[in-house]
Structure 1
């Protein structure tokens, strides 16, 4: 584990909406540590959300976290159904396709597939 990334943290303007979104779209679970922090469970990489007034976006220089999907179109529909906003619709890149979205707290993520 030495020198390996093992935890990421994201701001959350609306903790409840953010947790509900990721639980519905990706099946993630959460462990609350008070009202201002929720650790992410079952996401592939450990991390958490902390209450904050700002959000992470590529336009502001943020790192982009990219999630893998076996069915990109299904993932796109799930994101929209549960309150996500599509920032960049599905596009091709060397190795696959992806789209970018923001979740209810405004953080930008992407979902990609090689299928």
Structure 2
């Protein structure tokens, strides 16, 4: 890989997007961008993230930490050869593509790229 990957985005799941938006805006002044009824991105003034609608969301569930790379396929192969497991192969979303993986201890993270 040509560059080190770093944490670039964090994603939470939630059951009620309108309530989540209202809470974080009122409590911390976060701003939001809606991407349809099931996803909203946020900016806290420094970090970008998002909330994904999930009716099965368990309160206190783990957020999804997302790393950024300019070489997505290379990063996927490096994860596999280093002992990680691909839990969701590369897929497209508005703005780019990403995959999810589990580290050897079972922690799930994602890697995304806005490059083809």
> Quick check: which one's strand share is greater?
2
Q: TM-score, normalised by structure 1?
A: 0.49
Tell me the TM-score normalized by structure 2. Answer: 0.49
Q: Which of structures 1 and 2 has the bigger CA Rg? A: 2
